[in-house]
A and B are shown apart, each in its own frame.
Chain A
Amino acid sequence: MGFLAHVFGWLTTSSNYWGPQGIVLLFWHQLTLSVVVVASAIALGGTVGVILGHTGKGGLVAINAANAFRAVPTLALLTLLAIQPAISLKWNGFLAAWIALTVLAIPPILTNTFVGMREVDADVRDAAKGMGLTGGQVLRTIEAPLALPFVMAGVRTAAIEVVATSTLAAYVSYSDLGTFVISGLDTNNSVVAFSGAILVAVMAGLVALVLGVLTRVLTPVPLRRRRVSRTKDVYFPQPAAGLWDM
């Protein structure tokens, strides 16, 4: 129990919370990085998913490409970007981490947005068109609200992955909660490493919780009856298309 007592001691020492390497600032760094990354991924992946889903074209290609991206190791992108002189020190390493993590976050959001859009009942879409709604109106009033639970499931998967992986950004210079983990591993200070790990896990849990609540709030009331859960996430469990099924 001695070890856990040390961890508890470290986490309850107020001097560890403040200052340029304090928990508060590094927590903030990690949170801002993650929010910016997920927002960019929604802007890019979500837009492409909406366009493909609305027009119904090119979807299989997009999904397969998104699947292939699953195998891209974020460590490679981070290290590669971090040694490019034009990128490396921009905004204290923020830029390299931003780009590398956005690549990681786009696939789940893209896939889920596309599938969410395609899951909209064709009859509903036809009825809306029959009532004289324009393409833009169909998108805004019919497709977007109905696809939302899927999109949010993708956002949640992406956000959890991003929070978890942004710890690696500490390895290439951007200081966030990963700094505790990595410096702890480097200096054989397992108390610091373990405490950092707990803080990251807490943040991942918080993000999952907040996004779960947000999903519920954003979901149209008639769709809320069933609890919106991971089941909407088509990116995650996927008994079908892959690179070789094209």
Chain B
Amino acid sequence: MLIGTNPFFRWSYVTSNWAQIQGDLIQHIELSLIAVAIGTVISIPLAVLAWRHRLVRVPVFGIASTLYIIPSLALFAILVPITGTYSYVTAEVALVGYTLLILIWNTVAGLNAVPADAREAAKALGYSETGALLRVDLPLALPFIFAGLRVATSTVIGLVTVSALIGLGGLGQQMTYGFNIGYNTPIIVGLVLSIALAAVADLLLVGAQRLLVPWARGRGRSSGI
């Protein structure tokens, strides 16, 4: 493609490169979804264990905090010798590692916030430990879990772009492409679409929360700020 000038934005770039943009967007959604899904599957059981057993809490939070502090780019660099570039595994390990602390933190906070009355009532009704966990504790912790999911999702959507430096990146590829050819439009396309994606994902999570936590609806802000 021949580019003479560098306007702030050129629509014709979007129309003529739509297939590529669409592909990047789909990859972005895939990378984010997989990261949040795996992060959730790992975090909730770990959070339950950390909540119940003091001994587990320290190592779980220690490891999760370490993964949170290590820059994703550095994590890519550390993983590339093992899992290779252009690899979903490389990207996902770093992305999932980043979600763990957010999700575990919020789940534990939610479980801690379950009223003692509710737990005693569950016990009096004859619930087993596991039964109470699944039918009382975790459902009551859902507002916190969803708060964590929302933070983790929007963070991951922003972070996926960094994996462009190991050959993936979803919309991040638009950014590196625009940078390499010194052209604004692809970068702006990537920027706007990733923010829009985060907004849509947040909206979907709020909707899911309303469906799953109907009792919290209309009560306003449950806690925090």
Contacts and interface: CB of A to CB of B under 8 A. Distances in A.
Using C-beta atoms within 8 Å of the partner chain, give the interface range for chain A.
Answer: 35 or more
Given A73-B175, A185-B85, A236 B105 contact: yes
A81 to B, nearest CB: 10
Given A234-B225, A245-B221, A190 B80 contact: yes
B34 interface: no
B162 A75 contact: yes
Interface in A40-65: 63
Contacts of B155: 70-71
B102 A239 contact: no
B187 to A, nearest CB: 5
B187 A76 contact: yes
SS of A interface (majority): helix
A238 B195 CA distance: 20
B78 interface: yes
Contacts of B184: 80, 83
A80 B203 contact: no
Contact of A237 (B148, B154, B176, B191): B148
A240 B225 contact: yes
Contacts of A200: 70-71, 73-74
Nearest to A77: B191
Interface in A195-246: 196-198, 200-201, 204-205, 208, 234, 236-245
A193 B80 contact: yes
Contacts of B191: 72-73, 76-77, 80
A79 B74 contact: no
Of all A-B residue pairs in the complex, the 4 with the closest CB atoms, nearest first, are A71-B198, A197-B74, A164-B71, A193-B77
Interface of B: 6, 69-78, 80-81, 85, 102, 105-106, 109-110, 143-144, 147-148, 150-151, 154-155, 157-159, 161-162, 164-166, 171-172, 175-176, 178-179, 182-184, 187-188, 190-191, 194-195, 198-199, 202-203, 206, 221-225
17 contacts: A68-B199, A70-B198, A73-B158, A75-B172, A76-B188, A76-B190, A83-B179, A164-B69, A164-B70, A167-B71, A178-B73, A194-B78, A197-B75, A237-B105, A239-B223, A240-B147, A240-B225
